[in-house]
Structure 1
Amino acid sequence: MELRHLRYFVAVARSGSFTAAAAGLGIQQPPLSQQVRDLEREVGCPLFVRLPRGVALTAGGTVFLEEAEAILARVDGAVRRAGQAAHGTAGTLSVGFTSSAVVHRLSPVLLRGYREANPGVELSVGEGNAASLSEAVAAGQLDMAFIRQPVVERSGLAYHQLANEPLLVALPMGHPVAVKARRAGRGRLKLRDLAADPFILVRRPGAPGMYGDLIEACHAVGFAPRIAAEVGQMLTNVTLVAAGVGVSVVPASMRVVHAGEVFYGIASDAPKLSAPLNLVTRIGSANPTLARFVAFARKRAREVARAGALLQS
């Protein structure tokens, strides 16, 4: 039994006539009649009652019609979905976020926009630090990840920079430096004024880029920071600052976290500290939906950046 037998049978059943079905299928009636007889022999029972004018379904034919239509619908759906997957409009994408990348304003914009444009793609979202997410992408466990900056770019991975933002110094709201800056109505402070303070950082293996940049910035203004605590996630970092455990530096998008308990300021005396937002993917990935997402993300990121520049001009 082949799919054409089912299609021929359904056409005859729905039209009620071999003549009409043959015309609709674009074939001659005798071959169509022979195909249906072959099908009946294989099924083991008559599917039609031949009438003087047309045909009618037998009891077996009625049941077989329901099953045949279901089979053909599933086959047609499978063909359609396979084509969509091949063109990147259906399938699955697994994506990871660092805790600081997930709060960047671009992240929900990209996910929402992509889901609206590609409803056939299922997104699986996870979280981790930059090092673990990069390893997962390299191993094929994730299709892509939104991270900040790697200290060294891994071979086999592609890094697509989507945005960049300043690193801000995070202080408890009651810290003397924060109080002074607030009274002056400024969002700026001097990093060297924090030389005696304990620093809280995301562990070097998890966020090596920002960790190293802060150490270099502190050395540039004349001191080596005293690391009081190293944490696994940026959100924990900010929470400890809010609790008065120490000070830290975080990407500007994190300033929405504990906004009433943490003062966020720019270090005016330090080398310009920045935190790029990168989309990391595996070179040579066979997932066609990934290429479509990367193209969408790069285009949408440029649009968001232009809109932001216009608002600031």
Structure 2
Amino acid sequence: MNLRRLKYFVKIVDAGSLTQAAEMLHIAQPALSQQLITLEEEFQQQLLVRTKRGVMPTEAGVALYRHAQAILRQFEMAQADVKSAGHSLTGQVSVGLAPGTGASALSLPLLRTVRSVHPDILLYINENFGTTLSELIMNGRMDMAVLYGDRPANGLTFQLLANEELCLVAPRIMRIDGPTVSVAALREIPLLLPRPYNYLRKYVDDGFARMQQAPRVVAEIESATTLSAAVGAGVGATILPESTANVVAASCEATVHRIVSPGITIPLSLCLSDRLPLSEPANAVKELLLEIVAATQQGAPLAPID
């Protein structure tokens, strides 16, 4: 087995088609098919099955795909480290930031700092849902991500950065008075929340459960633009971390009320692979990211870690 065959296999699975993969790799399809046959012979397993829509990995193929991504990623990191030895840090570093979190405010400071301190590092920033980002890290396709959650997961580690307080963002027509609102007072308020698998929703549901309540969800929305428009139109209120709540409220002329009795907080964490070490460039970016987070906590609405 060699790295080229692993690269070919990953490309075939990603494309879902031998023909498309051959075109992207700029090789003849019969040659690509022969590489796949050789790989299956080496593992003594069928790795792909043909369907009307293309090809799909078997269970063995899924397992190999996961390991192949990690192997190829680690080889890329080794190349970058060897090339940069004794020189300024170079290479690609990928950072995921969950949208609608305090993480999104880190993108511009991180870009500026990396450009200033390590100008030869190519920084890739991906704003996506936390579940997607964590999966990319597990598969070795992303170096790190700042996202909600700190619950143990296979293949991942979480470094707690801060705890964000959750706030109610309500249309002005609801006429909610005061800077705070209790969970009990939210019983009849129509809420616009993300789907149950979303980390934010999980912490909201847990906060309500402590009071033996359930949120009155009238719509599930995961688009920041649609959420702001819906709150502004009076369709319902929403619950967001304080850093994001203030931004959304300003965009739709809503009011912000910190949730109390009990207060609900959500952890903002740095997510890393517990199997693949960071390359030198990625480790340098991680240290800069942690410095930015520490500086941000001193002036931004992120609750210090207990």
Q: TM-score, normalised by structure 2?
A: 0.63
Name the counterpart of 2:181: 189
Distance, in Å, in 2 between the alignment partners of 1:272 and 1:253 is 16
Q: CA deviation at 1:91?
A: 0.5
Name the counterpart of 2:235: 245
Q: Which amino acid aligns with 1:158?
A: T
Cα distance, 1:306–1:286 mapped onto 2, change above 3 Å: closer
1:118 aligns with 2:118: yes
Q: CA deviation at 1:225?
A: 1.7
Q: CA deviation at 1:145?
A: 1.5
Contact 2:80 2:91 (8 Å CA) reproduced:
no
Alignment of 1:264-279 (within 5 A): 264-269=256-261, 271-279=262-270
1:131 aligns with 2:121: no
Max Rg structure: 1
Name the counterpart of 2:196: 204
Q: CA deviation at 1:194?
A: 2.5
SS in structure 1 of the partner of residue 142 of structure 2: coil
Name the counterpart of 1:223: 213
For structure 2, which runs of at least 5 residues remain unmatched after alignment? 1-78, 302-306
Q: CA deviation at 1:246?
A: 1.5
For structure 1, which runs of at least 5 residues remain unmatched after alignment? 1-78
Contact 1:170 1:262 (8 Å CA) reproduced:
yes
Q: CA deviation at 1:105?
A: 3.8
Q: 2:204 aligns with which of 198, 204, 214?
A: 214
Contact 1:234 1:250 (8 Å CA) reproduced:
no
Distance, in Å, in 2 between the alignment partners of 1:157 and 1:196 is 38
Q: TM-score, normalised by structure 1?
A: 0.62
SS in structure 1 of the partner of residue 149 of structure 2: coil
Q: CA deviation at 1:106?
A: 3.8
Q: CA deviation at 1:190?
A: 2.6
Name the counterpart of 2:171: 172
- Backbone CA RMSD of aligned residues: 2.9
Distance, in Å, in 2 between the alignment partners of 1:100 and 1:86 is 40
Q: 1:282 aligns with which of 249, 269, 273?
A: 273
Q: Which amino acid aligns with 1:220?
A: R
Alignment of 1:68-107 (within 5 A): 83-84=83-84, 89-101=89-101, 104-107=104-107
Contact 2:190 2:217 (8 Å CA) reproduced:
yes
Distance, in Å, in 2 between the alignment partners of 1:194 and 1:277 is 24
Q: Which amino acid aligns with 1:101?
A: T
Distance, in Å, in 2 between the alignment partners of 1:307 and 1:176 is 30
Contact 2:249 2:255 (8 Å CA) reproduced:
no
Name the counterpart of 2:153: 154
Q: CA deviation at 1:268?
A: 2.5
Residue deviations 1:63-93 (CA, integer Å, cap 9, x gap): xxxxxxxxxxxxxxxx999542787821011
Distance, in Å, in 2 between the alignment partners of 1:266 and 1:126 is 29
Contact 1:146 1:278 (8 Å CA) reproduced:
yes
SS in structure 1 of the partner of residue 92 of structure 2: strand
Distance, in Å, in 1 between the alignment partners of 2:260 and 2:88 is 46
Identity in percent: 25
SS in structure 2 of the partner of residue 99 of structure 1: coil
Distance, in Å, in 1 between the alignment partners of 2:87 and 2:179 is 48
Residue deviations 1:213-241 (CA, integer Å, cap 9, x gap): 21232233453222211223455434322
1:257 aligns with 2:257: no
Q: CA deviation at 1:195?
A: 1.2
Q: CA deviation at 1:168?
A: 0.8
Distance, in Å, in 1 between the alignment partners of 2:104 and 2:140 is 25
Distance, in Å, in 2 between the alignment partners of 1:221 and 1:81 is 52
Q: CA deviation at 1:102?
A: 6.1
Cα distance, 1:116–1:194 mapped onto 2, change above 3 Å: same
Distance, in Å, in 2 between the alignment partners of 1:115 and 1:244 is 42
